[in-house]
Chains A and B, each alone.
Chain A
Amino acid sequence: MCGTCGCEGDAGVRLTTLPDDAAHPHPHGPSGDTGRTVVLEARVLAKNEDLAVRNRRSLAGRGIVVVNLMSSPGSGKTTLLERTVRELGVQWPVAVIEGDQETHLDAERIRATGCPVVQINTGAGCHLDADMVRRGLEALDPPDSSLVLVENVGNLVCPALFDLGETARVVVMSVPEGDDKPVKYPHMFRTADLVLINKADLLPYVDFDPERCARQVRSLHPAAEVLQISATRGDGMPAWYGWLRALRPGLLPPG
């Protein structure tokens, strides 16, 4: 039934006519030649956003922290994860969801550390979405009050638009990539709660101005935090762990 005027439409399909259509001009039957406008006013990504809300609610109910790690390929996300699960996993149960177009190479690296891991291969897909993460979480079945690190597909463009239902979003960039990445990929950086500048051990050898980079990040997202780390050498890792621990529910702010 037509939601506006009550005429009989196609069964099971709810149609709403344009407000200025209320005088009943839409055609009934095949003789109508002018077509009929169906107003949707629908968010294109509504389905993903609804699934993300569901993920977020169910995770919060179980005290599980989920961190979405995004970066270009080669920024050192997997090395960062290996070190994080080894060092942080002794105090806090950690599991990993790996996203790549193809192969299980990253998941095998994580499994070698003894950490539970699920690999999602997106095939032609350039990003993870909320449904993939829901399925990943189902397969992983992380314990209550644990930490789940999600390594998104290496790509500084597409993952920016897809909410996974995560607790926080982290963008990892690395010193050899150059300090102008934030302004070149503003959509990605404007959604970041934290930006990690990885491979900081290479700073003496590369023309990279960390302060300039941090200013760019803040111009896109004033509340974003920026930390310098080296996942291979260990610089800055305690600050990264501290930032993660602060996401745990039920912790009172210091002071």
Chain B
Amino acid sequence: MHELAISQAVVDAVRERTGDQRVRSLRLVVGRLSGVVPDALRFSFELVAEGTPLEGADLVIEEPGGRARCRSCGTEFGTEGLVVLCPCGSADVAVTAGSELLVRSVEVA
């Protein structure tokens, strides 16, 4: 349940910028390969935001899909998992997108 620590980090990062201003909504980027489960994040965010200016804020979560590039043949392709095999058969593949974990923006009152 690292989403609890992730939620705390989200609240800390936002408050560092917006202080005591009430936050109405947050836009997060949680890549599909980031290892963070959006539903668990929503659940723990509610707990962590309680009593802070982020309490009750809407969470809008963008979930970009995974991308990978084969180091053998150079092909780029989409992937939904971390066990990635290039269509050419090579397992020497670098994940290039989908691991993002960002606070994109917030809406303050």
Contacts and interface: CB of A to CB of B under 8 A. Distances in A.
Interface of A: 10, 12-15, 18, 35-48, 124-127, 129, 157-158, 160-162, 183, 186-187, 190, 216, 218-220, 222
B13 A38 contact: no
Given A44-B9, A187-B82, A219-B84, A38 B19 contact: no
Contacts of A126: 1-2, 5
A152 B21 CA distance: 37
A46 B81 CA distance: 24
Nearest to B19: A13
A21 B12 CA distance: 25
Contact of A38 (B6, B10, B18, B91): B18
B102 A42 contact: yes
A43 B17 contact: no
Chain A contact residues: over half helix, strand or loop, or mixed? mixed
A14 B14 CA distance: 12
Given A10-B19, A42-B103, A35 B85 contact: no
A183 B85 CA distance: 13
A190 B94 CA distance: 11
A45 B82 contact: no
B50 interface: no
A222 B103 contact: no
Contact of B105 (A40, A129, A160): A40
6 contacts: A35-B107, A40-B13, A45-B9, A162-B5, A186-B81, A222-B92
B83 A186 contact: yes
Given A44-B10, A220-B83, 6 more contacts: A14-B17, A40-B14, A42-B17, A158-B5, A216-B83, A222-B92
The 7 closest A-B pairs by CB, nearest first: A158-B2, A186-B82, A187-B35, A35-B107, A219-B91, A44-B101, A40-B103
Contacts of B42: none
Nearest to A155: B2
